[in-house]
């Protein structure tokens, strides 16, 4: 039995869901879905200076994030894994446990990468619902979805993405990036990169953060805020007293790659990249990550065949 929704009914379904949830439609947004679970800035604790009491803001409202594509769904599954290890991240799960994730995918799906429900395109006018969790099941209403035994299903092949193919061999990527420490490409990138951090902000998997206190203007309370940080920014590894463990852009850029392709492989068995292309689209210096990786991997292969 399949649940099929007409394309034109999707927006009405979303309107209906608004009765029970705060609905966030992320189609066309520059920042990825991580922003709703790991916000750019959030208060983690609030200290009242008068009562000397410490409180932790509670998050109560259920919400639904709609419109994630395949890469973003996969990223959310990975981010869940990251936020569970080595300890459960309280503030992430506080929001994540109150949320539903709905994918909208215009290509035929081989393996459902994550989320609660995925709407998969089956004809030019129709999507079928792939229900992945009980929470997801509860929002599939007869009013919007037709039950069909054997709906007609057209094949919409995923466009060929060489970058994505490269990610399949994450072991090779890990070896290549580790090997590349003294590669000339890092000098080039050290010159080219502005160290602005945009690539990490738009990345659906980058999750570095810093913790900073903020005092209200009336001086009545202090908030401990957790906010996005970026390992490419100059102060990322600088300690009080002034010593900076990653002084140059080159060092910081390599460290970023090392995290995504080497450390992530050692920790999780895969690269922390889903080939979504946001870093490439948004880099003001025009750095194309996929091409950087390709150059490193090609040279590594040459190096291997030369031994």
Partner 1 sequence: MTTKNIYQPFKIKIDKIEKHSRDVKLFRLVGDFSKNKDGTVFMPGQFVLASHFGYGEAPFGIASSPYQDSYIDLIIRKTGILTSALHQLKAGDEIFMRGPYGNGFPVDFISGKDLVMVTGGCGIPPIAALIEYINAHRDRFGRVYLIYGARTPADLLIKDKLKQWEDKIKVLLTVDKPAKDWSGYVGMVSELVDEIKIDSLDAVAAMCGPGPMIDALEKILRPLGISDRRIFVSMERKMQCGIGKCQHCVVGDKYVCQDGPVFYYDQIDKSWG
Q: Looking at beta carbons only, is 37 or 144 nearer to partner 1?
A: 37
Q: Residue holding tokens 């290549």?
A: 176
Q: Looking at beta carbons only, is 138 or 215 nearer to partner 1?
A: 215
The DSSP element (H or E) to which 148 belongs, if any, is strand 146-148
Q: Which two tokens stand for residue 92?
A: 């992430």
| Angle (deg, nearest 10), helices 185-192 and 249-257 | 120
Q: What gap in Å lies between CA 166 and CA 177, rounded to an integer? A: 13
Q: Measured from the CB of residue 225, what is the shortest distance to partner 1 in angstroms?
A: 10
Q: Measured from the CB of residue 259, what is the shortest distance to partner 1 in angstroms?
A: 7
Q: What gap in Å lies between CA 199 and CA 281, rounded to an integer? A: 9
Q: Measured from the CB of residue 159, what is the shortest distance to partner 1 in angstroms?
A: 32
Q: Looking at beta carbons only, is 145 or 228 nearer to partner 1?
A: 228
Residues 6+ apart with CB under 8 A from 105: 69, 70, 73, 118, 119, 120, 121
Q: Measured from the CB of residue 285, what is the shortest distance to partner 1 in angstroms?
A: 22
Q: Measured from the CB of residue 239, what is the shortest distance to partner 1 in angstroms?
A: 5
Q: Looking at beta carbons only, is 122 or 225 nearer to partner 1?
A: 225
- DSSP, collapsed to helix, strand or coil, labels residue 226 as strand
Q: Helices marked H in the chain — which ranges? A: 10-17, 70-82, 90-96, 134-137, 162-168, 170-179, 185-192, 198-202, 249-257, 264-268, 278-282, 289-306
Footprint on this chain of partner 1 (rule: CB under 8 A)? 44-45, 47, 49, 52, 54, 56, 83, 86-91, 93-94, 97, 207-213, 215, 222, 224, 229, 231, 236-241, 243, 245, 255, 258-259, 262-263, 266
Q: Measured from the CB of residue 301, what is the shortest distance to partner 1 in angstroms?
A: 23
Q: Measured from the CB of residue 80, what is the shortest distance to partner 1 in angstroms?
A: 13
Computed from CA positions of residues 108, 111, 113, 115, in that sequence, does the dihedral angle turn out positive or negative?
A: positive
Secondary structure, 3-state, 153-179: CCCCCCCCCHHHHHHHCHHHHHHHHHH
Check: CB of residue 302 under 8 Å from CB of residue 216. Answer: no
Q: Measured from the CB of residue 290, what is the shortest distance to partner 1 in angstroms?
A: 23
Nearest to 12, CA basis, from 27, 23, 26 = 23
Q: Measured from the CB of residue 272, what is the shortest distance to partner 1 in angstroms?
A: 11
Residues 6+ apart with CB under 8 A from 222: 46, 47, 49, 213, 214, 215, 216
């Amino acid at each position: 039995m399949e649940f099929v929704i007409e394309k034109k009914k999707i927006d009405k379904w979303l309107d209906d869901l608004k009765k029970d949830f705060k609905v966030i439609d992320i189609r066309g947004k520059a920042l990825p879905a991580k922003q709703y679970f790991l916000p750019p800035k959030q208060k983690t604790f609030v200290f009242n200076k008068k009562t000397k009491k410490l409180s932790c803001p509670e998050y109560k409202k259920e919400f639904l994030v709609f419109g994630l594509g395949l890469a973003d769904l996969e990223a959310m599954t990975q981010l869940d894994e990251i936020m569970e290890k080595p300890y459960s991240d309280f503030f992430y799960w506080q929001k994540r446990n109150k949320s539903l994730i709905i994918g909208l995918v215009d290509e035929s799906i081989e393996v459902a990468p994550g989320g609660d429900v995925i709407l998969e395109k089956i004809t030019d006018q129709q999507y079928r619902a792939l229900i992945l969790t009980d929470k997801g099941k509860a929002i599939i209403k007869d009013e919007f979805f037709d039950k069909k035994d054997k709906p007609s299903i057209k094949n919409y092949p995923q466009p060929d993405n060489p970058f994505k193919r490269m990610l399949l061999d994450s072991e090779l990527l890990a070896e290549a990036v580790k090997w590349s420490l003294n590669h000339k490409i890092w000098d080039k990138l050290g010159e080219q990169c502005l160290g602005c951090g945009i690539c990490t902000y738009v990345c659906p998997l980058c999750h570095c953060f810093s913790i900073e206190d903020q005092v209200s203007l009336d001086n009545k309370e202090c908030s401990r805020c957790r906010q996005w940080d970026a390992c490419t920014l100059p102060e990322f590894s600088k300690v009080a007293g002034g010593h900076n463990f990653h002084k140059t852009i080159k060092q910081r850029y390599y460290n970023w790659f090392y995290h995504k392709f080497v450390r992530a492989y050692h920790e999780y068995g895969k690269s922390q990249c889903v080939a979504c292309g946001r870093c490439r689209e948004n880099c003001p210096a025009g750095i194309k990550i996929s091409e950087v990786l390709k150059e490193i991997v090609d040279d590594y292969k040459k190096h291997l065949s030369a031994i």
